[in-house]
Amino acid sequence: MAHDASAIPSDPTSRLSPAQEMRLRHADILAEDGVLRIDPLTTLERLDGARMVANARVLLSALADGPVTATASRGNLPRAFVRRMLDEMSWHPLQQERLGLDERTTFNEEDVPDLSTLRRVLGLAGLLKKRRGSFSLTRRGEQLLEADQAGRLFALLFRTYFGKFNMFYEYAWQDDLEMQARIVFSLWVISEMTDRGGSTAAGSEPPGATTREIAQMVARDELLWAVMEAQQVAWMVDRFPRAVGSVILEPLEDFGLLTRTHQDAATSQSYLRSWDLSARWTATALFTTAFTFQLDPIEPDGAALEEAEWAAFVPAMHVTADEAFDRYLTDGASPLVRDAGSHISMLIDAWAAFLDSREAPRRGRRSGGPRGTREAPMTALDAVATAPTFVEDVRSLGRPDEPGPAAFAAAMVADFAVWCAENELIPKSMAVRRAQEAEQAAGRFGRALRAGTMHEGGAPDSAAAALREGGTPKDAGDDGLAPPARTPAAAPGDVTPAQLRLVPEARATGSTGRVARLTVTLLDTEPAVWRRIEVPLGSTFAELHTFLNVAMGWQDYHLHEFGYGDRLVGGPELNDGTGPEVEDEEVLTLADVLAEGHRMLSYIYDFGDDWHHTVHVDAVEDALEGVFYPRCIDGARACPPEDVGGAHGYAVFVDAMADPRHPEHADQALWFEEVCEADTFEPEAFDIETVSRLLRIAATGELAADDLDFFGA
C-alpha cells in the first residue's frame, strides 16, 4: 500500500536509533518487564475516564453475586443479565443511540458487541470462567475487583485486549497479525503523535494527530492492505485508516488514553465514528503518566561494529561469494534447497546472476589505478549484505498478490546466511537479520493466503517467468525442471484462516523415535467429525493442543483443557484457585501419560461452546524413515465453524444452511458470510493431504515449495 510520506506531519521514528526501533517492533506486550511498562499503582480516581475498566468492574461485581447460567443455544450471557449490564455499565452516547436503549427491552449478547468483547477479554485474562454451562468469577477476578487493585486490573485488561484477544474480532476488517504483533511500536508512535505537549503538524494545527495521519505511521501488513485496497471501490479506498480507528484508536479511547475532537460537526453525530478520518486524537494525562517505554539509550549499533571488524579481515581470511555458495549447495547443508528441488533452482540461478552483476563494477580498471588491475572478488560477507536487494528485486518483479517468490528468495538467502555464520564466514548478527527478514516475508505470504487473496496457479512458475523477464540466464527456466501448476486437492477456501500460521509455538520432533496414532472424535456430532493423526510420542500437551486444533480445523481462538483419569492438563490461566489443579501442558508429554497406562484422553476446546473430543491412542510405533510427523492418515467431515453455538447450534446451522426454506436459513447464511467470509458450507468436506500439510506448517513454521501449488497460491 503506497503512502504519501509528505502527508505525515512528522515521523517520530526518525528520533530512534535502529536498535531502539527494532526493540519496539519486537516488543512483547504481555511482558510486564518488557519495553511497555504500565503503572500498576494507578488509582481508581485516575482511571475515571477508562470506560473499559469501569465496565469490567461492573461485570465482575455482578458475577461476584453468584454464577450466571449461559444460554443453551450459543453459550453466551443470558438476556436478563445483558439487560442488567446495559443499565449498569457506562456507554458512549453514540452507542446508546445505536443500541436504542430507551426503546428496546430485549437484548442478546451478540446485539451488544462491546459487552461480548469485554466478556471474552475477561475470560482470556483469567478473571471469569465458564464451567458446566455457567459463568462465574475466578479467585484472581475477586482479587482485582478490589478498589486498590484498579491499576493492576487496568494493566491486565490492556495487555490482554491487545496481546491475547483478536482485536479485529468484532469488526469486518481482515485480521492483520503483523499490526497486532507490532502493537507496542504502534502505541509508542501514537503516544508521540498525540502528546498534548505540542502538535506534530506544521503551522497552527492543534496538538495531536488525525486518524489518517496516525494510520500512516502504525505497523501493518503492507501486502495485505495493498491487495485489499486494490479490490475496493473508490469510496472504500480509506479502508486501512478506518480499521486503525476501529481496532486501535477507539479502544484506546475506551481505556481512557485518548480523547477526540471532530472536525466536522455533522460527522460527529454519526455512529460511524471510524469514518471520521479527520477526527483529531490527543493523549490524556493517563497515557502520559501510566505508560512508559523502556528503550535502550542511543548507542552505536553493536552489530554494525561487529561487521566492520569482520570486514577488515575478509580479504585475507574468508572465501569468495561464489566459493561459499558452491560449498553451501554441494555440502548438503540446506534442507531448504534439497526439499524444494526444482522449484527453487531458478532462484539459485537468479541469485548467482545477481551476485555476478553486483561484482561486475568491481572488475577492470580502477579509477586512478594502473590498467589491468582487479579489485578483490566479492566475499561471502558482501553477498549476504546485498541479499536484501536481491529479495526486493524479486518482489518488484512479481505481482502484489503473488508474494511467494520473494518469500522463497528471502528464505534461501537467510538459509545461506545461517550456513555462512555456522562456518564463521560472516558474523552471526548478520545471519540473524537475514533470518528475521525471511520470517517477515514468509509471514506476509501466510497472511495473504489467510486473506484469500491468492489466485489459482503456481507462484513458482510465475516466479520463473518474472525472473526470466528480469534478465536471469535463459537456461534457468528452460531446463524443464519446473512442472506446471497442478490443481490443488483442496480449494483454498477449505482452509480456515488461522490454520496457516507460520510461526506457532509447537514444534515437531521430526521423523525419528516413536510416534503415537490417535483417533480424535468430536462428540455430539452426527454423523461424527473425526480425525486419525500420528504425532511424535515426545510431544508436550501444548504441542498436542496445536496438532489437535489444526487437525480438527479449529482456529485456536479459545481456551482448552485436557483430561485423563482424574487429572487435568492445560495452560496456567486455568489455575485460578477455585477449581481442581491443572497440570502444566508445557511440561507434561504424551509419553508420560502413556507410561502411566492411560490410552484415552479428553480434549475440551472453547469453554463457551464446549466442544468435547475423545482422543484414543490406537498404537505406538517406530517412526518411518523419511516420513514427517505429525501427519493425518484418515478422517471424515468438516470442522464446525467457530462460535456456532456448540453441538446444538451446529446441528441447527447445518440444517438451516442446507434448506433455503428453513426459518433460520437467512440469518445463518448472513452470519456465516459475515463471520466466516464464506457463502457455502460443505459439512462432508475433508482432505487428508490438506490436513497433513497444515500440520507440517504448524509444526515447523515453514512452507515447502509445492505448498504454493497445492493451495493454489
In a domain, residue 236? The reply is yes
In a domain, residue 512? The reply is yes
Q: Does the pLDDT of residue 558 top 50, yes or no? A: yes
Choose between 707 and 568: higher pLDDT: 568
Q: Given pLDDT bands bounded at 50, 70 and 90, which one contains residue 271?
A: very low
- For position 710, what pLDDT does the model report? 75
Q: Tell me, what CATH number does 506's domain have?
A: 3.10.290.30
Q: Are residues 381 and 402 in the same domain?
A: yes
In a domain, residue 283? The reply is yes
Q: Are residues 145 and 57 in the same domain?
A: yes
Contacts of 212 (CB under 8 A, 6+ apart): 7, 238, 241, 277, 278
Q: Are residues 288 and 322 in the same domain?
A: no
In a domain, residue 419? The reply is yes
In a domain, residue 620? The reply is yes
Contacts of 395 (CB under 8 A, 6+ apart): 403, 405, 406, 409
Among residues 266, 297, 328, the one where a domain terminates is 297
In a domain, residue 6? The reply is yes
Q: Are residues 552 and 577 in the same domain?
A: yes
Number of domains in the chain: 4
Query: Is the pTM here over 0.85, yes or no?
Result: no
Among residues 137, 163, 189, the one where a domain terminates is 163
Q: Are residues 130 and 187 in the same domain?
A: no
Q: Are residues 442 and 507 in the same domain?
A: no
Choose between 11 and 655: higher pLDDT: 655
Residue range(s) defining the domain that contains residue 619: 494-638+682-710
Among residues 163, 180, 210, the one where a domain terminates is 163
- For position 577, what pLDDT does the model report? 65
* pLDDT, tens digit, 9 for 90 and up, residues 512-531: 578 999 999 999 888 899 99
Q: Are residues 124 and 186 in the same domain?
A: no
Output the nine-digit C-alpha cell for 392: 526486493
The secondary structure of residue 26, as a DSSP letter, is: T
- For position 345, what pLDDT does the model report? 67
Q: Tell me, what CATH number does 143's domain have?
A: 1.10.10
In a domain, residue 659? The reply is no
Task: Decide the pairing of beta strands 560-564 and 567-570.
Answer: antiparallel
Q: Which of 517-526, 535-544, 662-671 has the lowest mean pLDDT?
A: 662-671
Output the nine-digit C-alpha cell for 229: 485496497
Choose between 307 and 57: higher pLDDT: 57
Q: Given pLDDT bands bounded at 50, 70 and 90, which one contains residue 52?
A: very high
- For position 506, what pLDDT does the model report? 38
Give the number of other Cβ atoms within 10 Å of residue 13's Cβ: 15
Within 543-677, strands assigned E span 560-564, 567-570, 582-584, 600-605, 611-622, 631-636
Q: Are residues 462 and 584 in the same domain?
A: no
* pLDDT, tens digit, 9 for 90 and up, residues 452-498: 433 333 333 333 333 323 333 233 333 222 222 222 333 333 444 33
Q: Are residues 48 and 191 in the same domain?
A: no
In a domain, residue 676? The reply is no
- For position 153, what pLDDT does the model report? 95
Q: Does the pLDDT of residue 119 top 70, yes or no? A: yes
Output the nine-digit C-alpha cell for 90: 457506562
Range with the largest mean pLDDT of 140-144, 367-371, 596-600: 140-144
Q: Are residues 474 and 334 in the same domain?
A: yes
Cβ atoms of residues 119 and 145 within 8 Å? no
d(CA 144, CA 99): 30
Q: Among residues 677, 694, 678, 701, which one has the least CA distance to residue 174? A: 677
- For position 313, what pLDDT does the model report? 53
d(CA 571, CA 566): 17
Q: Does the pLDDT of residue 408 top 90, yes or no? A: no
Q: Are residues 327 and 409 in the same domain?
A: yes
Q: Are residues 582 and 705 in the same domain?
A: yes
Output the nine-digit C-alpha cell for 190: 501514537
